[in-house]
Structure 1
C-alpha cells in the first residue's frame, strides 16, 4: 500500500481532538470516515505512525505521543508547506 501523508495527518488530528486519551483503530476509522482511502488504509497508516513515533500503543488502543503533538504543532506553524506530518519528520 502506498503511504498517504494526508491519512497520517488525519489520524493524528483525530487522536488530538478526541475526548479520550486513546482510541481503538475502528474508532479512528469511524471518526475519519470513508474519505476515498483504500480499505485498510487507516490501520496501515496508524502502524506507520507508530513506527515513526507519532503514536504509541496503549493496550488495545493507540494514543498520540509527545512527538505526535510536536508534529501537529509544527504542521500548523508551517504556512508555506503542505500540512503533512511526513515532511515534518525530516
Structure 2
C-alpha cells in the first residue's frame, strides 16, 4: 500500500476534477476527505451515510426489496395473501 502522501498526490487531481465538474449546490464535503473502501457496498454505505441515510434505513429497504422479490415468485393468490399477512407490521 502506498504511503498517505503518495495516495493524496494520485487522488488529488481526480477529486479536483470531479468537484469542478459538479454545480456548487451538488458539491459534498465528503468529496474533500476521501476514504478507502474495500468493497462497492462499503463505499455506498459511506456515501449514503454522509447524506443522512442510516444502516437501519438501508436494512429496512433491503427487507422490502426481498419481500417484493418473494411476492413476485409466488404463483397462487392464496400463498400471496398468506405471505402478505406474515409481513404486515
TM-score (norm 1): 0.26
- Larger Cα Rg: Structure 1 or Structure 2? 2
Higher relative contact order (CA 8 A, sep 6+): 1
- Which is helix-richer, 1 or 2? 2
Q: TM-score, normalised by structure 2?
A: 0.26
